[in-house]
Amino acid sequence: AQTVTQSQPEMSVQEAETVTLSCTYDTSESDYYLFWYKQPPSRQMILVIRQEAYKQQNATENRFSVNFQKAAKSFSLKISDSQLGDAAMYFCAYSLPNFGNEKLTFGTGTRLTIIP
Amino acid sequence: DTGVSQDPRHKITKRGQNVTFRCDPISEHNRLYWYRQTLGQGPEFLTYFQNEAQLEKSRLLSDRFSAERPKGSFSTLEIQRTEQGDSAMYLCASSLSAGELFFGEGSRLTVL
């Protein structure tokens, strides 16, 4: 079974600074998807960024980028120029691309606090 | 319709009562998922539908839980004879493509 581990229950960063959230996963598959989801307080979870395992290039979405190390099974999220609105729980997640296997396996999350 | 909607947002019930949650997915999405999230944990998969067909159920979904998606539109999740351990946030999500789920705000269940 696939597992996702987030070893940082809480992180904090000064506004405008850069922070990196860690995620490791365990799988025997070679083709899969990895995701970072953001869950603001009392709001729905939204997709931040997605990475296909077959792509060597790290995904980037504006201020959010990932460092995908397939051999190490590591998938960290870097948030640049942190803003107050980035405060949330961040969940790393994994899924298989095959039809019928799109369900996500989540880590336990990292609570990110932005210090003004 | 701009997102996934869930109802009710919060339900307080006494142990032993039945509760039902409803999820309305994004209209063009044919896949619908239910997850459960307990305090301090990430969401855990419960079940999912492709149109009206329930294709997979987690072993977390005991026989007290039942989910339906009649006509492939909205879905309901019913919990019978609730227990205190059922207290959690029940999240619904829908999707078109692999893994890119769009979540609702959740239905929080408190069992007294």
pLDDT tens digits along A32-83: 999 999 999 878 899 999 999 999 899 999 999 999 999 999 999 999 999 9
Q: Which amino acid is at A87?
A: A
pLDDT of residue A58: 95
pLDDT of residue B65: 95
pLDDT of residue B67: 96
| CATH code, domain with A14 | 2.60.40.10
User: Mean pLDDT throughout A86-114?
Assistant: 88
pLDDT of residue B28: 86
pLDDT of residue A2: 82
B55 and A42 within 8 Å at the Cβ level: the answer is no
Any chain A CB within 8 A of the CB of B39? no
Do the beta carbons of residue A35 and residue A93 sit within 8 Å? yes
pLDDT of residue A42: 79
Do the beta carbons of residue B25 and residue B95 sit within 8 Å? no
Query: What does the alpha-carbon distance between residue B14 and residue B16 come to, in Å, rounded to a whole number?
Result: 6
A108 and B40 within 8 Å at the Cβ level: the answer is yes
Name which of B3, B95, B102 is nearest A102 (Cβ-Cβ). B95
pLDDT exceeds 80 at position A98: no
A108 and B41 within 8 Å at the Cβ level: the answer is yes
pLDDT exceeds 90 at position B93: yes
Chain A residues whose beta carbon lies within 8 Å of the beta carbon of residue B91: 45
Name which of A44, A100, A107 is nearest B42 (Cβ-Cβ). A107
The number of distinct structural domains making up chain A is: 1
User: Mean pLDDT throughout B89-109?
Assistant: 88
pLDDT of B19-56, one tens digit each?
999 999 998 898 999 999 998 889 999 999 988 999 88
Question: Percentage of chain A with pLDDT > 70?
Answer: 96
B22: Cβ contacts below 8 Å, ≥ 6 apart: B6, B7, B74, B75, B76
Residue entry with tokens 């705000």: B105
pLDDT exceeds 90 at position A112: yes
Mean pLDDT check: name the lowest of A8-12, A33-37, A95-99: A95-99
| pLDDT, greater one: A84 or A98 | A84
Do the beta carbons of residue A55 and residue A34 sit within 8 Å? no
Residue-number span of the structural domain to which A58 is assigned: 3-115
